[in-house]
């Protein structure tokens, strides 16, 4: 770091010069870290400089300034928010919900402008946050306000100053005398999860979604509370400008970025109508991979002169429209709470819901995970609840709308006997890393509900991969008494199967052939198919490559199992207990006697088998030798994990053909970029002749 410029004429002058230098450096490093994702110093060094500046400003109160980086700490306390009128209205946007709506929007624009040629659009993700206006005078942030009713908003300047992606000072050579910018304040998914986890630990109400969390954080009378929240702001446009900058909306955003503002990297300029439609589909496909929530795409006429010609309607512009995605969160009512029994005997409460469309999918059930989760969220039968599809896939109850309670809601109680077999249940506290929960488990190992789930797991594609043995057939086989363990599968005959509902001679013959085909199976998939508690695909692969064959593994003491990287004492005890159980050994022996052949796997050395131990890798582009699933398994077998997005914790980006935006993101963060050949070299394996050979 360069030496600070100190004026030696007096101690106060030296302190003042040091204060000015620290402010400039902290502003610069804040911009590098939070806007450009290109830090030059460590977090510890940044914190040290900040503490020094705080100390100087406390010692010399006359040095304090509203644009100091220390303003981000948020020390002011308000009695109420003041109101302010926007120089130009902050209009809402018309919504579109289909491709036809966008085609009609394009036609309206052309008709109003009386032109036939293609309109040039800029399209951007519609962030799910809170709209805010920032006012800069002579390059300094002087006021910030909420959108409010579009004409008048609430002044939240002290709170906005705490957001590190908001510049307090603009680059002087680029900023106009007065600049009003508009953008979205939001919370990223990981930040939201951490925030709700902290609130849960402090027994505070949870936020229903990131948007509610962002809105609640900005409307805090105590700015120090806002400072503790992981808020981010992206700029998407301007209000009043004291001087002309450009005729293009996209060029305007680029100018704003050069002044120090954070602009969303996914904004796509210079699009015609067909490219707009393609970009919407692309965003929709990738939205679950983004680090933040988006609820659609905003489309704007790029030419600012055309925007002015188009003008506005009563409350919305004619030159922009919001194309919404199908909702991924909705409200519905809990009809009842059922209890399901899993393959390990754990009882799981499941909310039976009034059917509701969430993200274009009708949802009528949502897991409630465990009894503690139900109690913590206080979910009752007949409650109105928020439901979302986690990762746009798995439905879950987010929050109860307690304001809609009538007094007729019924609290849930976990049963004391198994709903499937009537056996007594026991309660066991499970400890795994930082997670602790009470599991209620059926103690009957012959429980039909457990057996059904075990059969489904055993026959799944990542285990024995028995084509034709699906959930419905598994239920029939258990209920008819044909299957009392998964070893019985290998003794099924076509004649027995023909007696089942909807099972003709051809289907029965095909199933028997599929069972015969799966008798040869790699050791890792055999282990995974056994359904040992805590043994997933990755753990099964570690075990198979460590010992190579079943006999050796079955006779390992628990200490030897626990000593393996990636296993630990909890998983080791589960594996040891499984193979010490005489019933389990009998089932395994019966399968071997019925012709199941376990294919041994090559033993892995510590230095190659765990080359990526604890490291995160990201895949992008098209690979030549493997599918994404196969490459993921290969990385996991080497101790690594595969993430869907680039972050500072990413160790490697594995880049195939046409890598896309992740490559640029990795370069900005200085992440090691390797190709498929280098990946195989690091792991110590050769490329297969045919990608299908990788198990």
- Reported as a single tens digit per residue, the pLDDT across 513-535 is 999 999 999 998 999 999 888 78
**Are 297 and 393 in the same domain?**
no
- Residue ending a domain, choose from 518, 544, 576: 518
Higher pLDDT, 628 or 491: 491
Q: Are residues 320 and 347 in the same domain?
A: no
CATH of the domain at 40: 1.10.287.610
Which of 110, 111, 126, 452 does the annotation list as catalytic? 126
User: Residue 467: inside a domain, yes or no?
Assistant: yes
Does 633 lie in the same domain as 582?
A: no
* Strands of 285-360, DSSP E: 294-301, 320-324, 329-341, 347-358
Range with lowest mean pLDDT among 410-419, 434-443, 478-487: 434-443
DSSP sequence for 646-669: --TTEEEEEE-BS-THHHHHHHHH
Identify which has the larger pLDDT, 21 or 250: 250
Q: What is the structure's pLDDT at 398?
A: 85
Least confident of 5-19, 467-481, 517-531: 5-19
175-195: average pLDDT: 91
User: Is residue 423 situated within a structural domain?
Assistant: no
Q: Can you give the CATH number for the domain in which 661 is found?
A: 3.40.50.10190
Q: Let me know if residue 164 belongs to a domain.
A: yes
Task: Give the separation between CA 133 and CA 117, rounded to whole angstroms.
Answer: 34
Q: Is the pTM of this model over 0.75?
A: no
The whole-angstrom separation of Cα 275 and Cα 253 is 20
Both 208 and 337 in a single domain?
no
pLDDT value, residue 447: 87
- Single residue among 518, 546, 561 that ends a domain in this structure: 518
Mean pLDDT for 650-663 is 79
**pLDDT at residue 49 in the model:** 76
Mean pLDDT score of the chain, rounded to an integer? Answer: 83
How high is the pLDDT of residue 39?
Answer: 66
Whether residue 431 is contained in a domain is answered as no
User: In this model, does residue 41 exceed pLDDT 90?
Assistant: no
The reply to whether 261 and 160 lie within a common domain is yes
What local confidence, expressed as pLDDT, does residue 320 receive?
95
126 tagged catalytic? yes
The per-residue pLDDT for 309 is: 92
CA-CA distance, 292 to 198, in Å (whole number)? Answer: 19
Please tell me the predicted confidence (pLDDT) of residue 630. Answer: 75
Q: Is the pLDDT of residue 666 over 90?
A: no
Q: Which of 162-166, 177-181, 539-543, 678-682 bottoms out in mean pLDDT, i.e. has the lowest?
A: 678-682
Contacts of 254 (CB under 8 A, 6+ apart): 263
Give how far the C-alpha of residue 459 lies from the chain's centroid of Cα atoms, to the nearest Å: 30
**Res. 164 pLDDT band, cuts 50 70 90:** confident
Mean pLDDT of 26-53: 68
CB under 8 Å, gap of 24 or more: what pairs does 551-554 form?
553/527, 553/579, 554/579, 554/585, 554/588
Instruction: Tell me which of 498 and 565 has the higher pLDDT.
Output: 498
* Neighbouring C-alpha atoms within 13 Å toward the C-beta of 612: 27
pLDDT of 693 > 60? The answer is no
Residue 27, Cβ neighbours under 10 Å: how many? 17
Is 85 inside any structural domain? no
What CATH number has the domain bearing residue 545?
1.10.150.20
Domain count, the chain: 6
pLDDT at residue 674 is higher than 60:
yes
How confident is the model over 65-123, as pLDDT tens digits? 777 777 665 455 556 778 888 888 888 888 888 899 999 999 999 999 999 999 999 99
- Higher-pLDDT residue of 60, 348: 348
Instruction: Calculate the CA dihedral of residues 188, 192, 194, 199 and round it to 10 degrees.
Output: 160
For residues 18 and 2, the model is more confident at 18
Helices (H), 465-567: 471-479, 494-498, 505-517, 523-529, 537-547, 550-554, 558-562
Q: Of 285, 302, 324, at which residue does a domain stop?
A: 324
* Three-point CA angle 212, 214, 218, nearest 5°: 115
Whether 665 and 594 map to the same domain: the answer is no
Domain harbouring 166, CATH code: 3.30.470.30
* Residue percentage of the chain with pLDDT more than 70: 87
Q: What pLDDT score does 145 carry?
A: 93
pLDDT top residue among 73 and 468: 468
Strand pairing partners for 179? 136, 241
- 85-89, 180-184, 290-294, 682-686: range with lowest mean pLDDT: 682-686
pLDDT 10s digits, 269-279: 999 999 999 99
Q: Does residue 299 sit in the same domain as residue 272?
A: yes
Please state, in angstroms and as integers, the Cα–Cα distance from residue 117 to each residue in 111, 112, 258, 268, 479, following that order. Answer: 11, 13, 32, 20, 67
pLDDT of residue 359: 65
- pLDDT of amino acid 78: 55
What is the residue range of 642's domain?
Answer: 606-693
Between 308 and 680, name the one with better pLDDT: 308
**Minimum mean pLDDT range among 140-154, 273-287, 385-399, 451-465:** 385-399
pLDDT-based confidence at 432, cuts 50/70/90? very low
| Strand 641-643 relative to strand 83-85, pairing | unpaired
Question: Do 454 and 504 fall within a single domain?
Answer: yes
pLDDT for residue 692: 31
16 and 139 inside one domain: no
Q: Are strands 268-271 and 130-137 parallel, antiparallel or unpaired?
A: unpaired
pLDDT > 90 in the chain, percent: 31
pLDDT reading at 606 higher than 70: no
Q: Is residue 81 part of a domain?
A: no
User: Is the confidence at residue 2, as pLDDT, over 60?
Assistant: no
* The pLDDT of residue 589: 93
In a domain, 59, yes or no: yes
- pLDDT score, position 396: 84
User: Which of 121-125, 384-388, 541-545 shows the highest mean pLDDT?
Assistant: 121-125
Contact 163, 233 (CB under 8 A): yes
User: What does residue 576 show for φ and ψ, rounded to 5 degrees?
Assistant: -60, -45
Residue with the two structure tokens 């309109």:
119
Over residues 216-227, mean pLDDT: 86
Cα torsion 19, 21, 22, 24 to 10°: value is 120
Inform me whether the pLDDT recorded for 263 exceeds 90.
Answer: yes
Is there a single domain that holds both residue 589 and residue 619? no
Give the pLDDT band of residue 393 (cuts 50, 70, 90). Answer: low
Do 528 and 587 fall within a single domain? yes
28 confidence band (pLDDT: 50, 70, 90)? confident
User: Do both 262 and 308 map to the same domain?
Assistant: yes
DSSP 91-110: ----EE-SHHHHHHHHHHHH
- Residue 360: is its pLDDT beyond 70? no
Mean pLDDT of 375-384: 92
Instruction: Find the mean pLDDT for residues 386-396.
Output: 71
Q: pLDDT at residue 436 above 50?
A: no
Q: Determine the pLDDT at residue 231.
A: 94
Work out the average pLDDT over 182-188.
Answer: 94
* Residue 632 within a domain: yes
């Amino acid at each position: 770091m360069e030496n600070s410029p100190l004026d030696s004429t007096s101690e106060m002058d030296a302190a003042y010069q040091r204060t000015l230098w620290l402010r400039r450096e902290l502003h610069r490093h804040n911009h590098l870290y939070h806007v450009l994702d290109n830090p030059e110093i460590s977090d510890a060094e940044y914190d040290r400089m900040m503490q020094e500046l705080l100390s100087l400003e406390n010692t010399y109160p006359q040095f304090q300034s509203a644009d100091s980086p220390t303003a981000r700490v948020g020390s002011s306390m308000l009695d109420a928010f003041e109101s302010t009128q926007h120089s130009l209205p902050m209009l809402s946007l018309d919504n579109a919900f289909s491709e036809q709506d966008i085609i009609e929007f394009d036609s309206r624009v052309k008709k109003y402008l009386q032109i036939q040629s293609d309109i040039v659009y800029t399209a951007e993700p519609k962030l799910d946050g809170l709209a805010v206006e920032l006012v800069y005078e002579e390059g300094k942030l002087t006021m910030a306000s909420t959108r409010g009713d579009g004409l008048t908003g609430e002044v939240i300047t002290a709170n906005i100053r705490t957001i590190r992606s908001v510049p307090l000072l603009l680059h002087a050579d680029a900023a106009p005398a007065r600049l009003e910018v508009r953008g979205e304040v939001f919370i990223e998914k990981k930040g939201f999860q951490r925030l709700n986890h902290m609130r849960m630990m402090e027994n505070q109400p949870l936020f229903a979604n990131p948007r509610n969390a962002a809105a609640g954080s900005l409307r805090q009378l105590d700015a120090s509370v806002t400072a503790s929240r992981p808020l981010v702001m992206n700029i998407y446009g301007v209000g009043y400008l004291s001087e002309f900058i450009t005729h293009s909306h996209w060029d305007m955003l680029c100018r704003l970025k050069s002044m120090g503002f954070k602009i969303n990297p996914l904004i796509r300029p210079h699009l015609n109508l067909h490219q707009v439609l393609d970009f919407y589909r692309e965003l929709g496909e990738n939205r679950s991979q983004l680090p933040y929530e988006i609820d659609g795409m905003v489309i704007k006429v790029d030419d600012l002169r055309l925007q002015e010609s188009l003008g506005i309607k009563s409350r919305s512009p004619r030159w922009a429209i919001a194309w919404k995605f199908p909702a991924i969160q909705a409200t519905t009512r809990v009809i009842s709470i059922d209890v399901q029994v899993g393959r390990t005997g754990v009882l799981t409460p499941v909310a039976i819901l009034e059917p509701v469309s969430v993200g274009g999918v009708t949802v009528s059930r949502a897991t409630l995970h465990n009894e503690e989760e139900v109690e913590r969220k206080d979910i009752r039968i007949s409650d109105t609840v928020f439901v979302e599809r986690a990762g746009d896939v798995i439905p879950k109850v987010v929050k109860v709308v307690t304001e809609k309670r009538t007094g007729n809601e019924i609290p849930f109680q976990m049963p004391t006997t198994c709903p499937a077999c009537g056996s007594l249940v026991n309660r066991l506290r499970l400890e795994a890393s930082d997670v602790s929960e009470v599991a209620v488990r059926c103690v009957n190992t012959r429980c039909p509900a457990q057996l059904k789930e075990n059969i489904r797991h055993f026959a799944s594609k990542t285990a024995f991969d028995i084509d034709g043995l699906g959930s419905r057939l598994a239920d029939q086989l258990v209920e008819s008494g044909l299957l009392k363990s998964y070893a019985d599968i290998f003794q099924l005959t076509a004649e027995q199967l023909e007696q089942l509902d909807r099972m003709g001679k051809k289907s029965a013959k095909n199933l028997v052939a599929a069972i015969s085909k799966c008798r040869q199976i790699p050791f890792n998939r055999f282990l995974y198919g056994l359904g040992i508690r805590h043994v997933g695909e990755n753990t099964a692969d570690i075990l198979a490559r460590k010992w190579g064959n079943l006999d050796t593994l079955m006779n390992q003491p628990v200490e030897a199992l626990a000593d393996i990287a990636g296993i630990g004492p909890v998983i080791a005890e589960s594996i040891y207990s499984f193979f010490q159980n005489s019933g389990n050994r009998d089932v395994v022996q019966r399968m071997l006697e019925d012709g199941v052949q376990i294919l041994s796997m090559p033993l892995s050395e510590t230095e190659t088998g765990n080359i990526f131990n604890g490291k995160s890798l990201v895949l992008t582009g098209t690979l030549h030798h493997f599918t994404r699933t196969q490459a993921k398994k290969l990385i996991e077998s080497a101790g690594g994990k595969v993430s869907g997005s680039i972050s500072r914790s990413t160790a490697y980006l594995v880049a195939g053909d046409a890598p896309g935006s992740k490559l640029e993101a990795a370069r900005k963060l200085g992440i090691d970029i390797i190709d498929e050949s280098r990946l195989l070299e690091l792991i110590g394996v050769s490329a297969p002749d045919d990608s299908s050979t990788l198990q």
